[in-house]
Amino acid sequence: MAFNCGVSFGACMLRVTRVDENGNVIAGSNSYVTDKLVSISVNPNNETGNNFSVRNGCGCGIASRKFPDTFNFWELSLNSAALEPQLISFMLGANPINDGSNVVGVAFPSALACDEANPAVAFEFWTENVTGSGLDATWPYFHWVFPSTVWSFGDNTFEEGPAQPTLNGFSQTNGNWGEGPYGDGPPDSEDISEGGFWGTADPLPTAECASQTVTATS
């Protein structure tokens, strides 16, 4: 069956996985899945290519040459409907605050020393693949992956009304992610070191207000 080019709709589920400074998955209780995301923005950071032109002594154009823009990385932003301390702890690389059995808060991290690596997470989310008035019958979701990302707090407002925590991040190349440790990577094992997306029929991960266990296999 030919792939039906449907509409990417909504933002259904988010999964982050802690990775080390080399992009390897950190085994243990280092994964978090949430269905409380409101929006995710994904914008390319491009460096403008050089532009050269030559004119004669009367100002008339002789020749010009424009070089293509160069892609640097993806700029990301997450807006959430709920305050999830364990998720924020993973994304910021911050120490959690515990009440003995549960993560109830986050201690904001200090500035890194020059020789310290940025804490990083693999960042994945799923959107619906809509055709007609429903989900595509064969590939109901799009799976989006950025295999290494670094995050910080964005602009947050607390007022009369629900707060929606915002974090801002950027992507990094991660050649050690492979197909990921969950068995739901690209169906053709394509290299997604810079990130990627594909239509999928794999079931969505289960959201929990707690960390989940992940193996180091990728």
**pTM confidence score:** 0.92
Phi/psi for 86 (5° steps) reads -65, -40
Tell me how crowded residue 113 is: count the other CB atoms within 10 A of its CB: 6
Residue corresponding to tokens 């974090």:
167
What's the pLDDT tens digit per position in 192-208? Answer: 999 999 999 999 999 99
Q: Give dist(CA 15, CA 82) in Å, integer.
A: 15
What's the pLDDT tens digit per position in 35-85? Answer: 999 999 999 999 999 999 999 999 999 999 999 999 999 999 999 999 999
Q: Residue 58 half-sphere exposure, CB side, CA atoms within 13 Å?
A: 2
Do the beta carbons of residue 195 and residue 161 sit within 8 Å? no
